[in-house]
């Protein structure tokens, strides 16, 4: 299978595959995806248990999600890309602007108090804010790989902090989700994600 991204330098993947070079030289697609899935599941448990009143959902936290989740498998875990990347017709933030653009997004998130005070606000307002920042980070696409799963986990920790269950995407088809991601990147339209997130937000029954 060819790489799913268009990169200027494809030496990041094993030749002719979409498998990133890894510490164990694993070249089996099913195996590498299974390992990634297990690492994500473990990370969810760890980061959820670590949530406290002092947790700041800032850039360092976002980067740490990626690094701590995947550093056992990939040398580049937690590292921002510095090259251009596209997927289909969607062109993500230029590599040379990833760091500065990330700083702007997380500065805005800081001004929103990292969305830490939405437990008693309307679900519609919360969904709208999450959709906005989710689209911003999706367009940024800062890491070499595994951006989507880390971005999901990031916002799942934010909603958990606010007394919600992790966002439920089970009623959304992969195509519907991808279409919303494309609308974000190409048209800066987060309305599709807002609807998905609103429908997937459910309060914890304590």
Query: For residues 159 and 118, what is the distance between their CA atoms, to the nearest angstrom?
Result: 8
Length of the chain: 206
CA angle 33, 87, 58 (to 5 degrees): 70
Q: Mean pLDDT across the chain, nearest whole number?
A: 93
Residue 81 near residue 143 (C-beta atoms within 8 A) = yes
Whether the predicted pLDDT of 4 surpasses 80? no
pTM of the model: 0.94
Query: For residues 197 and 6, what is the distance between their CA atoms, to the nearest angstrom?
Result: 29
Whether the predicted pLDDT of 2 surpasses 80? no
pLDDT single digits (tens) 107-134: 999 999 999 999 999 999 999 999 999 9
pLDDT single digits (tens) 122-172: 999 999 999 999 999 999 999 999 999 999 999 999 999 999 999 999 999
Q: What is the mean pLDDT of residues 65-93?
A: 93
Please state which CATH class domain 6-200 belongs to: mainly alpha
Q: How many CA atoms lie within 13 A of 47 on its CB side?
A: 30
Query: For residues 116 and 61, what is the distance between their CA atoms, to the nearest angstrom?
Result: 14
Cβ neighbours of residue 37 closer than 8 Å, sequence gap 6 or more: none
What is residue 35's predicted lDDT score, i.e. its pLDDT? 98
For the chain, where are the alpha helices, taking DSSP H only? 29-50, 59-70, 98-111, 123-140, 147-161, 174-187, 191-200
Closest by Cα among 58, 133, 136, 154 to 93: 136
Query: For residues 43 and 6, what is the distance between their CA atoms, to the nearest angstrom?
Result: 29
Q: Which two tokens stand for residue 80?
A: 């921002």
pLDDT single digits (tens) 13-67: 998 888 999 999 999 999 999 999 999 999 999 999 999 999 999 999 999 999 9
So where are the chain's domains?
A: 6-200
């Amino acid at each position: 299978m060819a790489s799913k991204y268009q990169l200027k330098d494809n030496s990041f993947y094993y030749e002719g595959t979409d498998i990133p070079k890894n510490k164990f030289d694993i070249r089996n697609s099913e195996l590498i995806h299974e390992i990634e899935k297990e690492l994500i599941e473990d990370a969810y448990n760890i980061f959820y248990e670590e949530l406290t009143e002092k947790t700041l959902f800032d850039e360092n936290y976002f980067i740490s999600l990626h690094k701590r989740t995947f550093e056992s498998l990939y040398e580049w875990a937690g590292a921002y890309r510095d090259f251009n990347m596209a997927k289909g017709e969607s062109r993500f933030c230029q590599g040379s602007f990833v760091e500065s653009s990330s700083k702007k997004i997380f500065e805005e998130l800081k001004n929103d108090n990292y969305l830490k005070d939405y437990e008693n606000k309307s679900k519609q307002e919360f969904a709208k804010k999450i959709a906005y920042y989710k689209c911003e980070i999706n367009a940024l696409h800062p890491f070499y790989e595994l951006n989507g799963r880390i971005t999901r986990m990031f916002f799942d920790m934010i909603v958990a902090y606010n007394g919600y269950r992790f966002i439920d995407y089970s009623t959304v088809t992969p195509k519907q989700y991808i279409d919303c991601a494309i609308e974000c990147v190409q048209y800066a339209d987060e309305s599709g994600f807002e609807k998905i997130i609103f429908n997937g937000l459910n309060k914890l029954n304590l």
